[in-house]
Amino acid sequence: MNLTLEILAPRTDGYHGVRSVMLPLGLYDEIRWEPAERFGFRVEGQAPADETNLVPRAFRALGIAPALDVTLVKRIPSGGGLGGGSSDAAAILRAAASGAFGELGERDYVGIARALGSDVPFFLVETGALVEATGERVTALGALPEWWAVVVLPGVAVATAAAYKALDAARGARYTPRARNASPSLQAVEAVQRSDFEAAVRAAGNDFEPVIARQEPRIAASLRALREAGARLAMLCGSGSSCVALTESRADADALASRLHAFETRVVPLHHADSWRRERVSR
């Protein structure tokens, strides 16, 4: 989830700069493989099973086609801004870096991740991070607080390119420069590292949210329902469509979810791993 998401001015290369504090959620797809005569790929669940899927694309980007039958068990809803495909690609890159597919020699895993998608580098670090530039500049935040999240799935999909177009149209030429030292994302970094939930609430924000909520009534209704149910921090995830409420405890998350009878929800912790302490993936 994005605790903050600042969309900065368009760059000369056509991309927008971003500044975001991203927190991984304990919501997972599963990727498994077994020996086979040749490389094969299939999907269980709702996701493309062809070469557009980020799992086979990650293998191609690595320049390998191991003799494996690879299965993606899809549990993270597609098109919801939760980064399921990006996390799948990162999982393949992390497995490759650990030697799961044999000795591959030197690889620029960060560069490969960036070529696969702007969110993929974040999922290499396996903890929260400050994400900058167009997604490739990732600074790990270290161990995360024991916070939980309630994810609401509005049942609509929002295309990222369309979200950027809508935001550009709403802003027109009014992309006011934002000094990095005054960024709410840097305030959010400190809040997360200090496990200061109140400070996290004050710093949180997503530049896409007002634009997308105006366009998508189901998203607006989801955000409204979370806040009326008592969420202290509820926001759009990425460019949508999922909406996430962050809580300080599982008890708070369960209580919040119990008041959302009309919505499809997931109650999950932040993802915790020690792997960020080790340099498993390097340039």
> For 232-281, what is each residue's pLDDT tens digit?
999 999 998 999 999 999 999 999 999 998 899 999 999 998 764 544 44
Place of tokens 């309630």: 150
Is 119 exposed, middle or buried, given 0-12, 13-18 or 19+ CB atoms closer than 10 A?
Answer: buried
| pLDDT higher than 60, residue 18 | yes
CA angle 258, 263, 269 (to 5 degrees): 60
CA angle 211, 208, 166 (to 5 degrees): 50
**Does residue 242 have a cis peptide bond before it, meaning omega lies within 30 degrees of 0?**
no
Closest CA to 17 of 2, 27, 7, 26: 7
**Distance of alpha carbon 70 from alpha carbon 54, whole angstroms:** 12
pTM of the full predicted structure? 0.91
pLDDT band at 283 (very low <50, low <70, confident <90, very high): very low
| pLDDT higher than 90, residue 78 | no
The greatest distance separating any two alpha carbons of the chain, rounded to the nearest whole angstrom, comes to: 57
pLDDT of residue 179: 76
Q: Which domains are seen in the chain, by residue range?
A: 30-137+273-277 (3.30.230.10), 143-269 (3.30.70.890)
